[in-house]
Structure 1
């Protein structure tokens, strides 16, 4: 990945894009995923965010998951689960750019108390069977298909 040759690729100021980390959070029996309704993007997605200089992207994914959901008892799988490149629309303080999102499968305890951070409108455990009712984001649905290839 040529992006890694840029020393600032883990900084949100690196344009035209930068590396981000996300956690595809599932309950113990893999029947639910934890989604956040992202305030700026106005859609349901997995928790994640900017590396802000941290080159350990697994740590980034776990930090962002805890910040955005309040869950602390996370059990990550250390291999990369998914990679997605997506366009982030321009905002008043930042031009349109790309996120090169590295995603890790992470098990979470669905009985643990959830918080809603100021980055989100809501956080919710969603049944895998109901996922399409919350989002039609191809990259989110792709992670479900990877986890449950037979449905």
Structure 2
């Protein structure tokens, strides 16, 4: 079954207690109940993947200023039918930032977040079940800005809260200190 690998990853992942723990349970249930969970055509929601990309010294994280949402986020996006969420996260980092050479720092899921995407034109409000991986940039690479972002830059971890202070982002900042 196309969802087996993700279900196995989810079952071995140990989330933070509280909010992430609840989102972990919701994500497992969603994936089990929806065979088309990797397709954005599933209008109630779908699995997405993103990359928390750290600099070589692990003191900075790569964030992009999302054009449509007008906020800073880690790179990520829709699976569009691909059940390999790690590969999707890598592809999205490359497409949105130009950074291609990455080392996976944790051989499992780094974080899970479920968030509501507001209705937009013909697309109703829906949930993204975001599976996040942590990477480190391997060598110096040029950052590129694509049409989805206004800016992409390395942000010192101690300053991330000035760019985006949601619990979702700050949880990943906290986890970074344990790497």
Match of 1:46 in 2: 74
User: Structure 2 length as normaliser, TM-score?
Assistant: 0.80
Tell me how far 1:86 sits from its aligned partner: 0.4
Whole-Å separation in 2 of the counterparts to 1:101 and 1:87: 11
Whole-Å separation in 2 of the counterparts to 1:131 and 1:71: 20
Count matched residues.
Answer: 149
Task: Flag structure 2 segments of 5+ consecutive residues without an equivalent.
Answer: 1-27
Tell me how large the CA RMSD over aligned residues is: 1.2
Relative contact order, CA 8 A, sep 6+: which one is greater? 1
Q: In 2, are the aligned partners of 1:32 and 1:127 still within 8 Å (CA)? A: yes
Match of 1:7 in 2: 35
* The 10-residue stretch of structure 1 (11-20 or 45-54) with the greater mean CA deviation from structure 2: 11-20
More helix by share: 2
More strand by share: 1
User: Structure 1 length as normaliser, TM-score?
Assistant: 0.94
Match of 1:102 in 2: 131
Task: Flag structure 1 segments of 5+ consecutive residues without an equivalent.
Answer: none
Q: In 2, are the aligned partners of 1:27 and 1:110 still within 8 Å (CA)? A: no
2:36 matched to 1:33? no
Tell me how far 1:110 sits from its aligned partner: 6.8
Q: In 1, are the aligned partners of 2:101 and 2:139 still within 8 Å (CA)? A: no
Match of 1:74 in 2: 102
